[in-house]
Chain A
Amino acid sequence: MSRPLTSATADAHGGTAAPAAATAVGHEAGGDAVLRVTDLTVDFPTDDGVVHAVRGVSYALSPREVLGIVGESGSGKSVTSLAIIGLLPKTARITGSVRFRGEELIGLPDKDMRKVRGEQIAMIFQDPMTSLNPVYPIGWQIAEGIRAHHRDVSRAAARSRAVDLLALVGIPHPKERAANYPHEFSGGMRQRVVIALAMANDPDVIIADEPTTALDVTVQAQILETLQKAQQETSAAIVLITHDLGVVAGVADRVLVMYAGKPVELGSVDDVYYRPRMPYSIGLLGSLPRLDAVDQDRLTPIAGAPPSLINLPPGCPFSPRCPLRQGVCDDEEPALRQTDGQAHYAACHFSHTLESEDGVPEGLFSATSADFSGPIAIMPPTGAVAPTEGPQS
């Protein structure tokens, strides 16, 4: 099963490096993508410097597909989605393109964007109270959500649709419960209400940002089931953001792995989980303790921490933590390029050395228990540029 990893050489890398820009734009989905994100970047100017939170994200979402987005905390998953639906603070500097059914959303006036958000792209957040108003009954809120975009629907019709939606997401006694306020529901029930709200206008895209992270696993299972039901009902495509690789494995068709503000791997869940072609994805999968593992040896952590997004050194952002790093990695950031499969992309100068045989390459990361990478704010593992908040020395 395991195969030795021939250590990659700069020679093997040869002349494959293509100009970073010319790649990976809008894969698959051909012309019928419901949502197409191209070279999206987001910068936040702060007192400490410019935070490059999103550094070139591209993906195309097909109708009805579920795309999982995973990555470490701070990798830009939420900011990417907030940029798509126009909910970033005014300070954010956004470039690139987001097209919904061909229509450009970046730079759209607030008024038009609000319409898109209500009717075409729905958003579900980790905290259901982000979407709910504490002072109105939930049935009223859903009905208003419908009427805000469909003035021709009567109040009574909207109310009865709200009750239907509550029934659909599994709220018991929906007719009576419609009159209750958000605080009269548990966290899991509130998230169901938010899903009902998201479905209200039959959106084409639902973006769910860690919708189950705050919930217990038994409740998470209920909510994921409800989300899948919502998808069947509305035929929406779903972008599911989570840090839980188990959730993505069960729910998503494709997965996008993010690191330091960029996609580093994109492919079908089977491709990425069984044939990962980028060292960070390999490390992430290898570091997981598994419920289905009988006698798992020591885990294999990824040593060190993600880089600061303020002063990113040139080259591959994963290089300080990467066991395959070569000289070229610190000079040139690898682009997201097609790897072994048709629709499988990876951003690594050496992903071809990880190709061929099926299976997750083993032995790449070691089962260490130490972390000598040092204080993060003072000495980035590269030793390159020291960012801001230091000790008051």
Chain B
Amino acid sequence: MTATAEQPASTAIGTEPVLSVRDLVKHFPITSRGVIRRKIGDIHAVCGVSFDLYPRETLGLVGESGCGKSTTGRTVLQLQPATSGSVVFQGQELTDKSSKQMRSVRRDLQIVFQDPYASLNPRMTVNDIVAEPLRIHGLHDKHSGDKMRELFRLVGLNPEHGNRYPHEFSGGQRQRIGIARALALEPKALILDEPVSALDVSIQAGVVNLLEELQDRLGLAYLFIAHDLSVVRHIADRVAVMYLGKIVELADRPELFDRPAHPYTQALMSAIPIPDPVKERERRRIVIRGDVPSPASPPSGCRFRTRCPKFANQLSEGERERCVEEEPALIERGQGHPAACHYAAVEKVL
């Protein structure tokens, strides 16, 4: 079989993707208050998201709070049913699977959550926490003890500490425990939902290194969800930038950081402070105005138009009309990679 044609920005053309997501949509109903709860609208959390994830690669999914990153991750795993669209994992369509059927899929596709404090059961020893997936899948046997020790070593924790409780570990250590648990069933792909966002930087670095090392050793594919573009630049092979439920730009890492083509990507990059006083003083900053509109009533046409500096400062009246009326598709317009802007143009920001 051949690689999907509509995914030009890929490091792994020629291999089959492990995960293919097409036109994924997830709406949450908004109901009226009161005794009779009527549906009065929809939150358009994810609106037609498509991407491929290849073996051994890291695809970064970035964007600001509420843009639909976690919902994308959870819907891919069918932790929430998709409103529409398709999710193909290792050749199987997931959106029509029952929860029982999904259980066996989850052996190969696991998720790690952001909060290392909330996601571990405080009443279980960390050994039991890490072994739980084995037990659920009926794989727990007399060799599990060895397996546990191996997993602990793999995530850089001392195996001697397996009979302790989560509260005895630091945030970074708890995140390692969550990763060990996700690895217990030897998955092919991991969805990492902000796995280091809650950690202090000095500790975050060790977990990032661990994820990179595990990928090299185990050949894992990562969907790495984050709001911090600096971490994504460090860890990802390809990057998808989301805004208000849609992917607005998708490119290989060097391409995205050197040649961002969407006004939102450019603004996002330029807003991120760099820990270098001279660079920071000399930087030109694109400050975008206003806040993200409500996903209950996204703007017509291009969803970024209410904050787009290009729309506000550069386009003619006639050009703007197109932004208001026609939704820009995520296609290549001569910049070498797809961006969802009618007037996409590369601008160096860093």
Q: Does B31 contact A (CB under 8 A)?
A: no
Give the residues in chain B near A300, CB-CB below 8 Å.
205
Stretch from A17-25, A52-60, A150-158, A215-223 contacting the other chain: A215-223
Measured CA separation A120–B234 after assembly (Å): 44
Give the residues in chain A near B229, CB-CB below 8 Å.
291
Q: Quick one: closest B residue to A245, CB to CB?
A: B275
Stretch from A6-14, A125-133, A375-383 contacting the other chain: A375-383
Interface centre among A218, A303, A372, A390 (most CB of B within 10 A): A218
Q: For the complex formed, measure the closest distance between the CB of B61 and the CB atoms of chain A, giving whole angstroms.
A: 16
Measured CA separation A186–B65 after assembly (Å): 13
Give the residues in chain B near A375, CB-CB below 8 Å.
161, 164, 168-169, 173
Which residues in chain A, 224-262, are within 8 Å of chain B measured between CB atoms?
Answer: 225, 243-250
Q: Does B206 contact A (CB under 8 A)?
A: yes
Q: Does B12 contact A (CB under 8 A)?
A: no
Q: Which of B201, B204, B276 contacts A249 (CB 8 A)?
A: B276
Q: Does A298 contact B (CB under 8 A)?
A: yes
Measured CA separation A274–B277 after assembly (Å): 9
Q: Quick one: closest A residue to B349, CB to CB?
A: A291
Q: Quick one: closest B residue to A242, CB to CB?
A: B273
Q: For the complex formed, measure the closest distance between the CB of B68 and the CB atoms of chain A, giving whole angstroms.
A: 14
Q: Which of A294, A301, A372, A378 contacts B164 (CB 8 A)?
A: A378
Knowing A291-B230, A372-B156 are in contact, say whether A390-B168 is a contact too (CB < 8 A): yes
Contact at A299–B271, with CB atoms within 8 Å?
Answer: no
Interface centre among A188, A301, A303, A376 (most CB of B within 10 A): A301
How many Cβ-Cβ contacts under 8 Å join chain A to chain B? Answer: 174
Stretch from B86-94, B185-193, B281-289, B310-318 contacting the other chain: B281-289
Contact at A301–B206, with CB atoms within 8 Å?
Answer: yes
Q: Does B141 contact A (CB under 8 A)?
A: no
Q: Does A312 contact B (CB under 8 A)?
A: no
Q: Does B267 contact A (CB under 8 A)?
A: yes
Which residues in chain B, 248-275, are within 8 Å of chain A measured between CB atoms?
Answer: 254, 257, 267-275
Q: Does A15 contact B (CB under 8 A)?
A: no
Q: Does A140 contact B (CB under 8 A)?
A: no
Q: For the complex formed, measure the closest distance between the CB of A307 and the CB atoms of chain B, giving whole angstroms.
A: 11
Which residues in chain B, 215-272, are within 8 Å of chain A measured between CB atoms?
Answer: 227-231, 233-235, 254, 257, 267-272
Contact at A249–B202, with CB atoms within 8 Å?
Answer: no
Q: Which of B168, B200, B210 contacts A377 (CB 8 A)?
A: B168
Q: Quick one: closest A residue to B273, CB to CB?
A: A246
Measured CA separation A287–B172 after assembly (Å): 14
Interface centre among A72, A216, A243, A247 (most CB of B within 10 A): A216
Stretch from A99-107, A111-119, A363-371 contacting the other chain: A363-371
Q: For the complex formed, measure the closest distance between the CB of A90 and the CB atoms of chain B, giving whole angstroms.
A: 28
Q: Which of A188, A218, A370 contacts B267 (CB 8 A)?
A: A218
Which residues in chain A, 342-393, are within 8 Å of chain B measured between CB atoms?
Answer: 367-378, 389-391
Contact at A368–B206, with CB atoms within 8 Å?
Answer: yes
Q: Quick one: closest B residue to A289, CB to CB?
A: B234
Give the residues in chain B near A296, CB-CB below 8 Å.
233-234
Interface centre among B213, B267, B272, B273 (most CB of A within 10 A): B273
Contact at B167–A301, with CB atoms within 8 Å?
Answer: no
Contact at A389–B167, with CB atoms within 8 Å?
Answer: yes
Knowing A219-B291, A371-B172 are in contact, say whether A289-B205 is a contact too (CB < 8 A): yes
Q: For the complex formed, measure the closest distance between the CB of A365 and the CB atoms of chain B, giving whole angstroms.
A: 9
Q: Mark B12-23, 1 if CB is under 8 A from A, else 0.
A: 000000000000
Give the residues in chain A near B213, CB-CB below 8 Å.
369
Contact at A273–B275, with CB atoms within 8 Å?
Answer: yes
Knowing A288-B275, A378-B168 are in contact, say whether A218-B288 is a contact too (CB < 8 A): yes
Interface centre among B228, B230, B231, B254 (most CB of A within 10 A): B230
Contact at A291–B350, with CB atoms within 8 Å?
Answer: yes
Contact at A249–B280, with CB atoms within 8 Å?
Answer: yes
Give the residues in chain B near A373, CB-CB below 8 Å.
173
Contact at B234–A303, with CB atoms within 8 Å?
Answer: no
Give the residues in chain A near B170, CB-CB below 8 Å.
305, 376
Which residues in chain A, 191-205, are within 8 Å of chain B measured between CB atoms?
Answer: none
Q: Does B158 contact A (CB under 8 A)?
A: yes
Contact at A298–B276, with CB atoms within 8 Å?
Answer: no
Q: Quick one: closest A residue to B275, CB to CB?
A: A245
Contact at A287–B157, with CB atoms within 8 Å?
Answer: no
Contact at B272–A293, with CB atoms within 8 Å?
Answer: no
Q: Which of A72, A218, A367, A390 contacts B202 (CB 8 A)?
A: A72
Q: Which of A217, A273, A284 contacts B271 (CB 8 A)?
A: A217
Contact at A284–B165, with CB atoms within 8 Å?
Answer: no
Q: For the complex formed, measure the closest distance between the CB of A306 and the CB atoms of chain B, giving whole angstroms.
A: 8
Q: Which of B200, B268, B281 contacts A73 (CB 8 A)?
A: B200
Cross-chain pairs A/B with CB under 8 angstroms, 29 sampled? A72-B202, A216-B64, A218-B268, A218-B288, A218-B307, A243-B200, A245-B275, A249-B279, A270-B277, A287-B202, A290-B230, A290-B234, A298-B209, A299-B205, A299-B208, A299-B209, A301-B203, A302-B202, A305-B170, A367-B209, A369-B156, A369-B206, A369-B209, A370-B156, A371-B156, A371-B157, A372-B156, A373-B173, A376-B173
Since A246-B273, A287-B202, A290-B275 are in contact, a sample of 17 more A-B pairs with Cβ atoms closer than 8 Å, ordered by chain A residue number, is A216-B64, A218-B287, A221-B287, A245-B201, A249-B275, A250-B281, A283-B202, A290-B276, A296-B233, A299-B208, A300-B205, A301-B203, A368-B156, A369-B213, A370-B210, A378-B164, A378-B168
Q: Which 6 A-B pairs have the closest CB atoms?
A: A246-B273, A370-B156, A301-B206, A301-B205, A299-B205, A375-B168
Which residues of chain A have a CB within 8 Å of any CB of chain B? 72-73, 186, 188-189, 216-222, 225, 243-250, 269-270, 273-274, 283-285, 287-294, 296, 298-303, 305, 367-378, 389-391
